Amino acid sequence: MPTVAQTETKPGFRKTAETFTSGAKTLPQRYFVSPKIFAEEKEKIFSREWVLVGHQSQISKAGDYLVANVANESLIIVLDQKSTIRGFYNVCRHRGTRLREDRSGHASAIQCPYHAWTYGLDGRLIGAPHMDDVRGFDKADYSLHSVHLALWEGFIFVNLADSPTPLDECFAPLAGKFSHWNLPKLRSAKRIDYEVRANWKLIFENYSECYHCPGVHPMLSKISPYDSAENDLTEGPFLGGFMKINKGKSLTMSGNACASRLGDIAAEDFHRIFYYSIFPNVLLSLHPDYVMVHQLWPQSSERTLILCDWFFHPEAFKCAVGFHPEDAIEFWDMTNKQDWHVCELSQQGIASRAYEAGPYSSRESIPAAWDREYLRQME
């Protein structure tokens, strides 16, 4: 398994929702349309918090890399020869040239396309043409600048801050919570990129409630009752809980399980789907037979790029029968697009001079809690 370079409360949605939403209203208009606030978000949130950039299965061989853009910074995430995952700024130490233009790939070394300065997978400068005769030049002084990187349940997180709080400490409330889903072992069967013409916060708020489900998601509501939510994380950067799945059903187009179980999932959890948001860019959906993960990447105050992956147990890929990932992918691609459409409608309405902050219902306790955490981070 790759290495990295350098309490739950009792569910009680119905009892606590009114308390959490009493007097709460949606955010003022400026938080969804202001370029100034968007710039503040990049500096105060995306430049200081741990953000998801990928999964260890995406760089499984030495030399595999992916490129991520975080708060206007391009980063190279690579697996080195010692099976250590490393993160570097995508900036040559010679004249600052962007080293990699592609989103992912494989290479035995990282070479600048401009003057061919070459770096090892550990970031050391190993080749610099015509620099040997430069007085005082030492390759050891020009390694790639590294970025803080850490793993959580197989997912790769980075942090641009100079001295961030360690990820293990930040994620302590989630320690062991999802271990029986075998998240580090999973592999993505499909990724779909979505360009959504809506502010990133609207997507978090939409994900965090099913008040909208009867009208927006009729097929989802037939399989998973919209009023069955019970939340166990109700404050802070980690929010969510579970909703019930009708017995014998799965969230797929056919309604049947599309793969074998992901792990030793408890009997009662086999009829539940767990939805959690991890501030500031992760939506984690845990099903008995697959896991769906959304990465949110704000592009402007009114546009968001969403990367959606469907993960399955590696043994499922070996099954000649019983493995139908497209059944889940098609279901959620349809459901995602329904969500993105209403988020875009919200963005359009919020931009109007007629918009005023509206009251949250008792079924919107998690969006209200998400807003509180967002405002705390912005302060």
Which parts of the chain have pLDDT scores under 70? 1-22
pLDDT of amino acid 320: 78
pLDDT of amino acid 23: 85
- For residue 73, give its domain range: 64-152
My answer on whether 14 and 75 are in the same domain is: no
My answer on whether 206 and 298 are in the same domain is: yes
pTM of the model: 0.93
My answer on whether 191 and 304 are in the same domain is: yes
End-to-end CA distance of the chain: 39
Q: How far is CA 259 from the centre of its chain?
A: 23
pLDDT of amino acid 232: 95
My answer on whether 98 and 132 are in the same domain is: yes
Residue 173 belongs to some domain of the structure = no
Question: What CATH number is attached to the domain comprising 313?
Answer: 3.90.380.10
Question: What CATH number is attached to the domain comprising 127?
Answer: 2.102.10.10
Q: Which residue in the block uniquely carries the two structure tokens 């020869």?
A: 81
Q: How far is CA 41 from the centre of its chain?
A: 17
CA distance 237 to 235: 7
Number of domain units in the chain: 2
Q: Closest Cα partner for 298 from 40, 78, 97, 107?
A: 40
pLDDT of amino acid 269: 83
My answer on whether 224 and 372 are in the same domain is: yes
Residue 79 belongs to some domain of the structure = yes
CA distance 351 to 354: 8
**What single-letter amino acid sits at 235?**
E
My answer on whether 188 and 144 are in the same domain is: no
Please state the three-class secondary structure of 158-214 as a single string: EECCCCCCCHHHHCHHHCCCCHHHCHHHCEEEEEEEEEECCCHHHHHHHHCCCCCHH
Residue 171 belongs to some domain of the structure = no
H runs (alpha helix) in the chain: 13-21, 30-33, 35-41, 167-170, 200-207, 213-216, 218-223, 325-350, 365-378
Residue 1 belongs to some domain of the structure = no
My answer on whether 251 and 201 are in the same domain is: yes
CA distance 53 to 148: 12
Residue 53 belongs to some domain of the structure = no
Residue 36 belongs to some domain of the structure = no
pLDDT of amino acid 270: 84
Residue 2 belongs to some domain of the structure = no
My answer on whether 104 and 196 are in the same domain is: no
